[in-house]
Structure 1
Amino acid sequence: MCRHDPPCPTAEAPDREAARVVARHADQGWALLCNGFLVFEDTGGLLPDGNVVAPHRPTAPAERASA
């Protein structure tokens, strides 16, 4: 689907969310990327083949120990 040069990552690639947005519905909480990946605001998504990608919210950095 992607026609960018250089091409965006495929929907199967680990960095799939780096692809460009082609449609966004912020009021509904989703965006369609040019690689066919549908990403939701909770960081989950749907691959073009219908498989689900579980949300992967970043965790808080570990607190630094006092010296």
Structure 2
Amino acid sequence: MCWHQPPCPTADSADREAARMTAHHPEQGWSLLCNGVLLFDDTGELLPDGRIIAPHRPMATTLVVAEHGKGALCSRL
């Protein structure tokens, strides 16, 4: 499907979301990538062969507070 150079990652590649966008419909919540992948706003995907990739939003940063002496120690996981 991809005609430009360098070619976009294929729909089977781990980095398939890096392909160029050919159609964008934010009002409907989806975009079509050059490699034939339908990318949805919730980060779900529909691959050209009909496989579905479940939404995979990054995990929210968790703040952990551990008491250490009189103060508190904060770290991010």
* TM surpasses 0.5: yes
**Offset at 1:51?**
0.7
Q: Which residue of 2 aligns with 1:15?
A: 15
Distance (Å, rounded) in 1 between the aligned partners of 2:26 and 2:2: 22
Structure scoring higher RCO (CA < 8 A, sep ≥ 6) equals 1
Cα offsets for 1:12-65 (capped at 9, x unmatched): 111100000000111000000000000000000100011101100011123255
Q: Which residue of 1 aligns with 2:41?
A: 41
Q: Which residue of 1 aligns with 2:63?
A: 63
Gapped regions of structure 2 (runs ≥ 5): 66-72
How many residues end up aligned between the 2 structures? 67
> Which structure has the greater CA radius of gyration?
2
Percent identity between the two aligned chains: 61
Structure with bigger strand share is 2
Aligned CA RMSD, in angstroms, stands at: 1.3
Runs of 4+ in 1 over 3 A off after TM superposition: none
Amino acid at match of 2:22: V
Gapped regions of structure 1 (runs ≥ 5): none
| SS of alignment partner, residue 58 of structure 1 | coil
